[in-house]
């Protein structure tokens, strides 16, 4: 047996102590619950828009939401990069590293948010025109975007706060934070749309309000960590040692490299969903709205299974920070197992109750009928997608972002080729098939690199990839 196969066998076959199952579930369960509050919020937005008097409202929310997927998720490296770096500092018991990583990330988040605000008009116009849709859909999308975008700096800072909470394994606090933000959002959307009659703009404004409240909540959590540093700034300026640590060239270069790789990876992912929405929009408003509705199934499943990926980020990062190869292997095996079980659960629910869920999300008969026709693809998606989700978490925790980026670029190329080959003859069924091929490619390309990552965990690897 060659070295790679030998490592793969070791990773898969060793007995897993019961304590590892408890540890993973203790971390993952609150994250799963926290993550699931986000698509519940998306489902509420969809249901509110879906019960207005035209399918164009639902299409407008779908296109507006896709814009913010690009703008906010595009900068998701603020969460993912923070989690990986903080988890490794946490595993190494490096308190100074924890503080410096969070300050650098917060400064970067606020700076990016300010740029987004300055460029909001051309960004929104370019996105809406590029994705397409009818004139009514585009008008509603603009109203949603212009209302929501004002909280951009705070929304991005919330990513950093969540990354810090996950990296330090404070998952119950992360759960409380996400529940607070999304509960505030749901209350605000019902108030703004049904009491104030702000329409689609009210849905966007509700999310902006929740982001602002969430930042206030998160800032209170971070205050004990940042107070010693901030008090020194106020009273006598930042000490030379702290200033040097904050702007350390090697640390900044590492952060920029990690964030660049994750940014490219995320833009490829969003590019795939943007292309999916574009090809759906070309098939009419009903297909666009049905695909947007069914993507709630995909999003709900992704957020749920990402709970195990986030647990993998924290555990893998801590194992690498401690230079503990056995802990790395146990973390990967146990999170893979529970992710697979979760995927089977989602597939069963979608297969048996998918039509009922569709009826709850919209009363537009044409949208219901169109969504029912493509529902089987959403039932198959969890068992195809789960491997890429989990391995994303493993490579983020290891801060091996170059491999993550390369895998996504390859997978995006596969998706473009598959959509080109299938949509002409199979229509929207071909488009959904191409999306699942894309998800499978993500798992296969990262899985191929996993044995090499396992070999690299240890003292020499930690030095080489620091």
Domain that holds residue 457: 3-464
Q: What is the mean pLDDT of each run of 10 residues along the chain (466 residues)?
A: 45 63 83 69 72 73 79 80 85 79 88 93 87 80 90 91 87 85 88 88 90 89 64 47 63 80 87 86 81 85 87 88 86 92 94 89 83 91 94 90 93 95 88 96 94 74 38
Nearest to 102 by CA among 163, 148, 44: 163
> Quick one: pLDDT at residue 41?
65
Nearest to 61 by CA among 147, 162, 160: 147
The four Cα atoms 347, 352, 357, 363 give a dihedral, to 10 degrees, of 130
CB contact at 8 A, 438 and 272: yes
> Quick one: pLDDT at residue 33?
76
Total of domains in the chain: 1
> Quick one: pLDDT at residue 464?
37
> Quick one: pLDDT at residue 351?
94
Nearest to 108 by CA among 98, 100, 97, 119: 100
> Quick one: pLDDT at residue 235?
45
The pTM assigned to this predicted structure is 0.72
* Dist. CA 63–CA 198, nearest whole Å: 18
CB contact at 8 A, 285 and 56: yes
Give Cα separations from 291 to 40, 346, 414 (angstroms): 17, 18, 21
The residues, any chain, with a CB within 8 Å of residue 43's CB and separated by 6 or more, are 296, 300, 361
65, two tokens: 């939401």
């Amino acid at each position: 047996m060659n070295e790679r196969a030998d490592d793969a066998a070791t990773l898969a076959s060793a007995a897993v102590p019961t304590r590892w199952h408890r540890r993973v579930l203790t971390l993952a369960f609150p994250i799963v619950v926290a993550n699931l509050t986000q698509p519940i919020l998306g489902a509420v937005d969809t249901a509110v828009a879906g019960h207005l008097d035209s399918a164009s409202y639902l299409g407008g929310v779908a296109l507006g939401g896709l814009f913010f997927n690009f703008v906010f998720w595009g900068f998701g490296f603020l969460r993912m990069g923070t989690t990986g770096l903080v988890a490794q500092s946490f595993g190494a018991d490096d308190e100074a590293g924890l503080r410096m990583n969070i300050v650098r990330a917060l400064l970067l988040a606020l700076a990016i948010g300010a740029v987004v605000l300055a460029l909001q008009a051309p960004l929104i116009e370019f996105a809406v025109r590029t994705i397409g849709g009818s004139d009514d859909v585009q008008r509603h999308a603009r109203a949603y975007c212009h209302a929501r975008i004002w909280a951009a700096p705070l929304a991005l800072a919330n990513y950093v706060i969540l990354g810090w909470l996950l990296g330090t394994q404070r998952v119950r606090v992360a759960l409380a934070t996400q529940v607070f933000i999304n509960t505030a959002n749901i209350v605000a959307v019902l108030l703004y749309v049904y009491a104030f009659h702000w329409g689609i703009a009210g849905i966007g404004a509700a999310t902006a309000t929740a982001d602002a409240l969430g930042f206030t909540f998160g800032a209170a959590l971070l205050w004990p960590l940042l107070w010693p540093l901030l008090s020194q700034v106020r009273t006598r300026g930042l000490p030379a040692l702290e200033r040097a640590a904050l702007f350390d060239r090697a640390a900044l270069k590492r952060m920029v490299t990690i964030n660049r790789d994750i940014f490219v990876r995320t833009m490829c992912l969003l590019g795939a969903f943007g292309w999916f929405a574009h090809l759906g929009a070309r098939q009419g408003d009903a297909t666009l709205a049905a695909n947007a509705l069914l993507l709630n199934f995909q999003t709900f499943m992704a957020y749920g299974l990402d709970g195990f990926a986030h647990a993998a980020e924290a555990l893998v990062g801590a194992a690498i920070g401690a230079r503990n190869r056995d802990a790395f292997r146990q973390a990967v095996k146990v999170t893979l197992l529970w992710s697979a079980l979760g995927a089977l659960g989602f597939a069963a629910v979608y297969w048996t109750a998918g039509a009922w869920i569709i009826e709850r999300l919209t009363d537009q008969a044409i949208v219901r009928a169109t969504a029912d026709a493509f529902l089987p693809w959403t039932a198959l998606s969890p068992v195809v997608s789960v491997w890429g989700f989990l391995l994303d978490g493993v490579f983020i925790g290891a801060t091996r972002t170059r491999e993550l980026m390369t895998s996504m670029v390859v997978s995006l190329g596969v998706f473009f080729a598959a959509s080109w080959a299938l949509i002409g003859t199979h229509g929207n069924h071909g488009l959904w098939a191409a999306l699942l091929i894309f998800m499978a490619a993500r798992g296969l390309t990262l899985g191929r690199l996993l044995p090499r990552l396992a070999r690299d965990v240890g003292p020499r690897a930690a030095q080489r990839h620091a």
